[in-house]
Amino acid sequence: MNILILGSGGREHTFAWKTAQSPLCNNLFVAPGNSGTDSIAENINISVTDFDAIKALVIDKQIDMVVVGPEDPLVQGVHDYFLNDNDLKHVAIIGPEKAAAELEGSKEFAKEFMMRHHIPTAAYKSFNKNNVEEGYRFLETLKAPYVLKADGLAAGKGVLILNDLSEAKTELKNMLVDAKFGKASTKVVIEEFLDGIELSCFVLTDGKNYKILPTAKDYKRIGEGDTGLNTGGMGAISPVPFATPEFLNKIEERIVKPTIEGLQKDNLPYKGFVFIGLIKVGDDPKVIEYNVRMGDPETEVVLPRLKNDLVEIFQAIANQTLDKINIEIDERAATTVMLVSGGYPEAYEKGKEISGIQNITDSIPFHAGATLKDGKVVTSGGRVMAITSYGNTYKEAIKKSYQNIEKLHFDKMYYRKDIGFDL
Ligand code: AMP
Ligand code: GLY
């Protein structure tokens, strides 16, 4: 089978790494890909949202399956584009249709979905520029901190958590009236602050059946001790030590089952990954958000623990026979540490040569914002490379990642040295 992976991050390198191990995969393409995918697949330099170019590629290379990494093409309807085209409708797409991708594309849609299906989440109300005053009154009824969420996709920056009421009101106005996040903040969800520890749960579904993948915890802030600005993710650990069997059972019964049943009841066609962002409040899980894709860098710790043939799983998703698959998980822990460009998540430089990759022995370097230039691997993004390791415990795994990072170098390389500190 010929397979195309859309995306260019560490997540997509991990997908490519796992896909390339499958005897079911003949030719593997990644668009646009990075220096990591270049060594195991053919990179094709087209944008993940240029559907016409993707169509031409799929026909030219006789591609049978497209695995969609990031949310943008899903929210813009790449799956529907394929279904509605006679030349493409036979191609298996891993990722939900547009209507279902709204679970990530609109926070209000996701909250309404959770309310309809009695899925535990924070209490909320949503506002637009015509009822800003009501938004102020609602904020006055809440206690600090105040949580404001731009309704639409805002590249992970659309959530504000503020301690001061007047600041919260100002930000609400900035979002709704002054379009702080452009179209994404035409609506704003204001919600109750949930106090607890976060973790993520990953579910595969073919629209009828589901399988739960290992949990993971990511570290979003740039600074040690979870301080400073939010990033795409600075590291991850799987499994999550505090996710006991009893707690996992609560997640499955209260959240996963009603989510999958809700998708069916609401006619939301879904073949792909559901990434459920959770927070443990007391002993109970509550949903913070849905994403309609895998997480990055969570993929870099979840897929290495999956023993199954990934392409076989994807085929089962496409054929709606996921119930026939027995998911097998490596007992070992996996951790990853993200190397980033100095300055990230604000301004940073690119084009720095990355040296020492060939000296990494017992970790896996998943390339992210890294590209080939004149035969050398150079930085091309803020998050540059995720160094994944296995261990009998997460502490052992994390130690291995840090030991291997010592062998790597690029100008202004930065990483957090405290991944797992809170566990
Ligand atoms: P989101 O983009 O929805 O994942 O939100 C980004 C981050 O904001 C989450 O990872 C949480 O750390 C935090 N957050 C979101 N919603 C809440 C909430 N209701 N209570 C506390 N923290 C939240
Ligand atoms: N690491 C968080 C995300 O992928 O959304």
> Any idea which ligand is nearest the CA of 181?
1
Asked if 69 contacts 48 with a C-beta cutoff of 8 angstroms, the reply is yes
* CA–CA distance, 235 with 233 (Å, rounded to integer): 6
Q: How confident is the model at residue 173 (pLDDT cuts 50, 70, 90)?
A: very high
How remote is the CA of residue 195 from the centroid of ligand 1, in Å?
A: 10
Q: How confident is the model at residue 267 (pLDDT cuts 50, 70, 90)?
A: very high
Same domain, 6 and 93: yes
**pLDDT exceeds cutoff 90 at 423:** no
Q: Is 219 contained in some domain?
A: no
**pLDDT exceeds cutoff 80 at 412:** yes
Same domain, 12 and 73: yes
Token pair for 350: 């690119």
User: How many domains does the structure of the chain reveal?
Assistant: 2
Task: Look up tokens 């594309």; give the residue.
Answer: 105
Closest ligand 2 atom to the C-alpha of 298? 1
Dihedral sign of CA atoms 189, 79, 212, 219 in order: negative
* Burial degree of 178 (CB within 10 A; 0-12, 13-18, 19+): exposed
Asked if 357 contacts 38 with a C-beta cutoff of 8 angstroms, the reply is no
Range of the domain at 150: 123-191
Q: Which of 141, 161, 191 is the last residue of a domain?
A: 191
Closest CA to 273 of 113, 104, 96: 96
* CA–CA distance, 316 with 326 (Å, rounded to integer): 11
How remote is the CA of residue 313 from the centroid of ligand 1, in Å?
A: 31
Q: How confident is the model at residue 198 (pLDDT cuts 50, 70, 90)?
A: very high
Average pLDDT, stretch 94-111?
Answer: 97
**pLDDT exceeds cutoff 90 at 154:** no
> Any idea which ligand is nearest the CA of 156?
1
Average pLDDT, stretch 44-55?
Answer: 98
Same domain, 51 and 14: yes
Q: Is 204 contained in some domain?
A: no
| Average pLDDT in the chain | 96
**pLDDT exceeds cutoff 90 at 9:** yes
Average pLDDT, stretch 276-298?
Answer: 97
